[in-house]
Structure 1
């Protein structure tokens, strides 16, 4: 078996090409209808998952060769609330601080901004391959994050998951002929065993709680001294006093 020292090396293998084709279609479909000005893709610079986006400013950043901005993903050098869309294609399972990355994404996204995440599903044939086989090569050396756990992280940070799905139901076979024989599992998986897909793909929106307007509690005596007393004004003051909570 050939050595895959990076995730991009693995994308050149038969199962990697199969997964990449599925995910590129999912990203293309999702980013088309998200509007704004600034979009960011973290990692995997060789693959343009923002190609279908209509946003005027699109950049690929990360700590690998080929990116437009070199940076540490858990310390993004962007201003608070400055981005409209962030893509995380298989970023979290290959980083030592996935929750910190999500915190940074929440910080740089504008209110109602979108994050789209793809990740390997540990509760699938792909997850079983990682547990039962060698974990020295990509992608099996990654720490696959359960979807339920990821949703909990997003909820704690104020995100709402709006769409999500699974893909890649065929087993991660290295022989392309055998892999092609399992093509029938893709449409069948969506219908019969959706949660067992090899990867999950979800989109979440950052929500900012609305502000509550604090109304003043009027001092009836002070108002009476400052304003001329009239029957109408006295009625309004009395009405306000009656409607004040105890």
Structure 2
């Protein structure tokens, strides 16, 4: 998939996210991202792609950016700017940020529609500070939606944008570990069958609780949280004095006798 095709496929995803099924996905991901980002602290955070989701809404960092593709429409950039964020048009494989300058990067459905997903992850690792964090949203191929998408490619009646190459959770975690991005938490959601209307999706809303309990890894969407680990780096605690940290030692009786005679 070349760069132009990648950008077109992301635009197709933007249109799909405005559908009833897309609204269902956005609601789950927004709630999950709000929970994950609320307690991530630092100075600089970036959301790359999918301006329909405000991934940094609950985060309290002073500098937050919404990055979009160079082919994003004015309306999409305006949507990002309305959330008190700065819209930055860029190529996902070449992020215009200095190395080790960002505390948090959020990638909602970017890797599966990127021409070079490995390069995107390498760029994320480069711009993150040590112990910086990344959150990735993706469609789960091991789900009812993934099965429906596979059948749709044969019958040419796909449920999700056809250009996407959906990445399984184990595969994504392997990629992250190779870049020293250690996965810490993962969430699955959207267990309703792949319906196209809000009415039918709502009828199966009870499957959310059932799915979380009985088949938690088969949700249509996953959210993965990872931290950049730097080898040889250790967190340093307070520099307590060694003398003050030790308990006072008892003076031997013979020494006490000598001291009393003096």
TM-score class normalised by the smaller sequence: 0.7 to 0.9
Do structure 1's residue 209 and structure 2's residue 231 form an aligned pair? yes
Matched ranges for 1:124-139 at <5 A:
124-133=143-152, 134=156, 138-139=160-161
Distance in 2, matches of 1:52 and 1:5, equals 25
1:84 equivalent in alignment to 2:103: yes
2:165 to 143, 148, 156: 143
**Residue pair 1:89, 1:117 contacting (<8 A) in 2 also:** yes
Q: 1:182 aligns with which of 174, 186, 204?
A: 204
> Is the aligned partner of 1:167 residue 2:189?
yes
Query: 1:53 aligns to what?
Result: 59
1:86-125 matched pairs, under 5 angstroms: 86-125=105-144
Structure 1: how far apart are the matches of 2:63 and 2:142? 36
SS in 2 for 1:155: helix
Match status 1:24 vs 2:43 = no
Identify the residue that residue 13 of structure 1 maps to in structure 2: 19
2:213 to 163, 184, 191: 191
Match of 1:218 in 2: none
CA RMSD of aligned residues (A): 1.8
Report deviation, 1:147. Answer: 0.8
Cα deviations by residue, 1:26-53 (Å, 9 ceiling, x for unpaired): 0111100000000000011233111111
Change (3 A) 1:5 1:118: closer
Offset at 1:136? Answer: 6.4
Contact 1:93 1:143 survives alignment (8 Å): yes
Shift in CA distance, 31/168, structure 1 to aligned 2, threshold 3 Å: same
2 CA distance for matches of 1:140 and 1:166? 22
Shift of 1:13: 1.2
- Once the two structures are TM-superposed, the CA of residue 70 in structure 1 deviates from its matched residue by 1.0
Superposition TM-score, scaled by structure 1 size: 0.81
- Give the conservation status (yes or no) of the 8 Å contact 2:151–2:158: no
Whether the aligned pair in 2 keeps the contact of 1:162 and 1:205 (CA below 8 Å) is: yes
CA distance in 2, matches of 1:122, 1:211: 36
- Secondary structure in 1 aligned to 2:148? helix
Which has the higher Rg, Structure 1 or Structure 2?
1
Q: Does the aligned pair in 1 maintain the 2:143–2:220 contact within 8 Å?
A: yes
- Residue 121 of structure 1, CA deviation: 0.2
Aligned residues: 209
Q: Which consecutive unaligned segments of at least 5 residues does structure 2 have?
A: 1-9, 81-86, 235-262
Structure-2 separation of matches of 1:78 and 1:93: 22
1:86 deviation in Å?
Answer: 0.1
Question: What TM-score results when the alignment is normalised by the length of structure 2?
Answer: 0.76
Which residues in structure 2 correspond to 1:65-84 (within 5 Å)?
65=73, 66=77, 68-84=87-103
Report the CA distance between 1:202 and its aligned residue. Answer: 0.8
